[in-house]
Structure 1
Amino acid sequence: MKVLVVTNHLVPGQLDLWEEAALIDGIELHLAGAAPTRQLDPYITGERAESGLEHYLQPLPLRKGRDSTWWYFKGLRSKLRELRPDVLHVHCEAWGVPAIQSLAMASCPVVIHGADNQFYFGHGLERTVRDKLLGFTLHRAAAYVSWNAEGSRLALSCNPQLPTCVVPGIATPDPVSAGLSRRAEIPTVPQHDVSKLRLGFVGRDAPEKGLDVLINALTLVAPTTRHRLELVLAGANRQAGEIETLTGVSAKSLGEMPQPDALELIGTLDALIVPSVSTPRLREQYGRVAVEAMARSVPVIYSRSGALPEVVDYDKLAFDEGESSQLAAILERSAQDRSILIEAQAAVRNQYELHHSPRELARKLVDLWKSVANGG
């Protein structure tokens, strides 16, 4: 079966997904998008390097507008005639120009791949126009792939007959199959004091990331427990001394880090904290940092925000959005009884293997492609 994927930036996370799909027997995959790069990808396995997918890369010239939703793929019609794909997969908002262009030009089934946030964009007239476009595209698409279950639900509210499945637009490579150690040493990370529970926060210091929820939780932890905790931050520009003064918990702030170092840092943690909160404009649509931790068997203590509950699916370490007291209680229990996090290690790794590995995500995509190609 021949599949043409039309996307925007062919970033490493996307390439892992498409490359894994190309490794499945019977799939000939072609890619149209901005020039790919492997510079930031710390995992290039021999299997993928020999997959042959590079022979199928077909970037098309783009006329760039304000952002990738306004890109027009010049030459798409002729490329469709040349390739004659069985399925055209468009990784773009359903109201974006690439989706509309693909539906207008393709004679094969068109699968649209987006996320729940596309249903919330805009206000007033802009929102009205986008809603009209969603109705147009989702009634003409052969299927819809969403980053999360909420996106599938919203797509079905536009077209109840639309086949859907959940596959994020990026994949997290398996560090175990790549032969990477969970406890690799990083020069910028101080040596781990094994007598303390090493907690990590990896992300921007933005309201939706919930760092203040975590800091407030640490202030609520019993004084007799605080000396058992250590907090390491990466990406957030908070001063460690300020956090230590506020919370009484040992803290280290590493600032921005190259992606490979951040991934290795996650592997040194006893638990990753993902305290996301929803805002009027933003909600957690996937939580890739949580999946990065799960791939390394690192427990994730997370808020029930957006898609995080379905992504992590380990309620023993979950707390309600913004509820610092609930997070503090989890931290206290985990510090007093290490078996709580040890038990979680196998559970989160199993969740990754069953639902988030590139191979599993690619299999779901290929199953959907085969179904729509056969008229299902």
Structure 2
Amino acid sequence: MNAVDTAQTPLIQAQLGRKLRVLFVSHAYVVGVNQGKLDAIAATDRVDVGLLVPSNWKAAEWNRTMPVEKPYPRIKIYQAPVLFSGRGGAYCYLPWALGRVLKDFQPDLVQVEAEVFSVLAFEVAMWSRLTGKPSIVFGWENIERKLPILRQLTCQFVLNTVSALISGNEDGAKILRRWGYTGRLEVMPQIGVDTQLFAPKTDRDPQAEFNIGFLGRLVPEKGVDTLLAAARCLQERGLNFTITVCGSGTERIALQQAAAVLQIDKRIIWHEAIRHEAAPAQIGTFDVLILPSRSTPTWKEQFGHVLIEAMAMGVPVVGSDCGEIPHAIGRSDLIFKEDDAIGLAAILERAIADPDWRQEVGQYGIDRVRQFYSHQQIATRSLNLWQQSLDYPPEETLECA
């Protein structure tokens, strides 16, 4: 495990005369496994970490209200009901509920993890304006779209208030610049990888049939049909392999039918969606993990967190050039063009035929995660950004498209 570089935190303490108090506000941290970054920050013993999450968050994909999990005692967790639960851009806290949390925790800085045009970001920006204390907004938005007038006004207010922005991907950072933001802007994922949970496996049977894995939603934009077409190419070339597909979604039956038409159905093992705590065991059975996403007019891959989980385990990853995938992987010989089954098949053929290259790529993934994507590295970058933002004035008036 990488130690968090806390070289900047003494400067923070010198300014404040005590620990920095940072309050995170986001529905993402209702799930305990997502709180690892926050615990890594708290583990420095130089920052008091508070967290406000909805007590009534309804996850649309599971159609149920999520209980608030509290696996890390170093994080002071607040929970309060929200209006419009489950609607990422529209949900918000009642003003007095948010006010009670802010009064109790007394943060020096608030980091809200919601889009810059969200009601939640507006609420935090209002607090920042009233108190003069800094706020930071993290967002994933990576599609250029025309915002309704109320969203535009919200966006302008937030951009004119924040001390810094964090984008989860390069495309999102470009959009924020096109909207006129000229302040501090970092690109890093919202959540890192627990490198103890997602650790390299050494017990993979070298005699087992080559296993190509997919873990994700079974929807058109995830491009699993491209993987099936590539598998047909591999079969025609006489290569031996198995494909393990883990996921659920609207395209499951259609994909199973397509596999039968391509006459590769006997090579495919179908599993339902894998819970996060079971993901390391499943990924550990893969010889390579594929993320064959494709862009649509309203969506492109914002990051692909499963990529860095597999990389942390030393499992080679291959992805399309959709959205943030090439930046997350960072290596051109592991990238193919969207919908290019032949290009994907060529990379997979090399992975099957060249175990030395596969081992090299696996070690590359481990090193890349340790350098950029562990919880500890995300914590370090957050600490540095906060140091820069403590006394940073708001920018000139900005316009949102």
Gap runs ≥5 in structure 2: 1-19, 56-66, 394-401
Residues of 2 paired with 1:155 and 1:241: CA distance?
Answer: 42
Aligned match of 1:84 in 101, 106, 118? 106
Task: Output aligned runs, 1:1-376, within 5 Å.
Answer: 1-10=20-29, 11-35=31-55, 37-38=68-69, 49=72, 52-54=73-75, 56-64=76-84, 67-74=87-94, 75-106=97-128, 107=131, 108-117=133-142, 120=144, 127-174=148-195, 177-178=196-197, 182=201, 194=207, 196-221=209-234, 223-226=236-239, 228-236=240-248, 237=252, 243=259, 246-248=262-264, 250-375=267-392
Q: Indicate how the Cα distance of structure 1 residues 179 and 232 shifts in structure 2: closer, same or farther if over 3 A, else same.
A: closer
Q: For each residue in 1:191-223, what CA deviation from the matched residue of structure 2 results, as whole angstroms up to 9, or x when unmatched?
A: x78353211111121111000111111222362
Contact 1:234 1:262 in 2 (8 A): no
Residues of 2 paired with 1:285 and 1:277: CA distance?
Answer: 11
Contact 2:244 2:268 in 1 (8 A): yes
Residues of 2 paired with 1:84 and 1:263: CA distance?
Answer: 38
Q: Which moved more, 1:156-165 or 1:315-324?
A: 156-165
Q: Indicate how the Cα distance of structure 1 residues 152 and 266 shifts in structure 2: closer, same or farther if over 3 A, else same.
A: same
> Which gives a bigger RCO, structure 1 or 2 (Cα 8 Å, sep 6+)?
2
Q: 1:147 Cα shift?
A: 0.9
Q: For each residue in 1:212-256, what CA deviation from the matched residue of structure 2 results, as whole angstroms up to 9, or x when unmatched?
A: 111111222362433x21111111435768626615472211233
Residues of 2 paired with 1:66 and 1:288: CA distance?
Answer: 21
Q: 1:16 Cα shift?
A: 1.2
Contact 2:336 2:343 in 1 (8 A): yes
Q: 1:78 Cα shift?
A: 4.1
RMSD: 2.6
Q: Indicate how the Cα distance of structure 1 residues 172 and 80 shifts in structure 2: closer, same or farther if over 3 A, else same.
A: same
Q: 1:266 Cα shift?
A: 0.8
Contact 1:215 1:243 in 2 (8 A): yes
Q: 1:303 Cα shift?
A: 0.6
Partner-residue secondary structure (3-state), 2:80: coil
Q: Indicate how the Cα distance of structure 1 residues 24 and 374 shifts in structure 2: closer, same or farther if over 3 A, else same.
A: farther
Residue-pair matches, total = 352
Q: For each residue in 1:40-82, what CA deviation from the matched residue of structure 2 results, as whole angstroms up to 9, or x when unmatched?
A: xxxx7xxxx5xx424x222234334562432332332343344
Letter in 2 for 1:293: A
Gap runs ≥5 in structure 1: 186-191
Give the structure-2-normalised TM-score: 0.80
Q: 1:180 Cα shift?
A: 5.7
Letter in 1 for 2:139: G
Q: 1:98 Cα shift?
A: 1.3
